[in-house]
Amino acid sequence: MSVRTPALGEGSWDTDEQLLARVLRPYKEHCRYLRSASVTASGGLSSARCEFAIAESCYIDDTGHLNSVEVNICYNQMMYYLVAKSVQEKALDGFTEWTMEDYWQRQLPDILIARFSAQFRKPVDPRSFEGEMEFRSVDRRTPRGSGPFLHAVTTHRFRDANGGRCDGETTLAVVNLP
C-alpha cells in the first residue's frame, strides 16, 4: 500500500549547511565526502543532486577511481541528507509525520539497506564528482508477526566531468517507525 498524505511539501531547496553538518556528524572527519546537496520534491517523492570530493580513501591506497566501498559511503551520506531534508520539509511519503527528533533518533539504527547494487560504466574520478538519488516509491508494510516498516526503492547515479559513471538501485527498509 502506498503511503500518500495530502498537501505534502513540494519545491526545491539548496544545501542547508547546518543540516548537512548534523547529518554527517556520525562520520569520521576524513570520511565526510558529501559537499553539497540540492533537494527537489514533488508528488510525495524527493530527489537530490549532490557534489562529492574524496581527497583520500579512508581504507585503501589510492586506486585512481571511485570504488564500490566509496560508492556505498557516498550513497549513505546522500540518502541520509535527502531523508533529513525531506522530513524537515514534509516532502516524502511515509515520513511526513516524522519530526526532526524522530529522524535523529533513527538515522543510524533504523534506516537499513536491504539491497544495494552498483554498476560501473566507466571509472569515476573520486577527487570531484556528482551524485544523484531519487526515491521511486515508499510503501508502508506490516508483515504478519512483526511491526510496520517502510519499504523504499531508490536509484542513484555518480558521474564525473570526464564521462565516468556508476548507476545503481537500492532498497531501503525503515524500521521502528515513530
Give the pLDDT confidence of 7-64 residue by residue, as tens digits. 468 899 999 999 999 999 999 999 999 999 999 999 999 999 999 999 988 888 777 8
Specify the 3-state DSSP secondary structure of 15. Answer: coil
Give how many domains the chain has, as a whole number: 1
- Say which CATH number the domain at 133 has: 3.10.129.30
List C-alpha distances in Å: 157 to 7, 10, 50, 97, 114: 29, 23, 10, 29, 18
Q: Is the pTM of this model over 0.85?
A: yes
d(CA 146, CA 65): 42
Q: Is 110 part of any domain?
A: yes
Identify the bridge partners of residue 112 per DSSP, sorted by sequence position.
173
Which domain, by its residues, includes 88?
11-174
